[in-house]
Structure 1
């Protein structure tokens, strides 16, 4: 199971207060780091794909709503 599925699995069928926020935060942070590293290595295609993944991520949406 990939990380995004694990991060979203902690959300499905559970209430807002039972979400494991540390896993959600860790997933989004790692994805942001991957985007940064790809940008530093001038991998534009990878940057675009990772940014798209971040934008469509349920974990990122949850964190933005939580803030």
Structure 2
């Protein structure tokens, strides 16, 4: 669906891009929880594309200002 948009944005990590996915799901991890916990969800839901929101100060955005 919109994997190319989410892939180019620093706030989102697309687990496994699926341009033909029927659904796009944005996951907002709870405070203190790592987003990598959700990376494996797409194995059970091939018709979905999962995008994990990366908060400032977390993961690949660790150096960003809060």
TM-score w.r.t. structure 1 length?
A: 0.28
Identify the structure with the greater strand proportion. Answer: 2
Instruction: Tell me the TM-score normalized by structure 2.
Output: 0.28
Which of the pair has more CA radius of gyration? 1
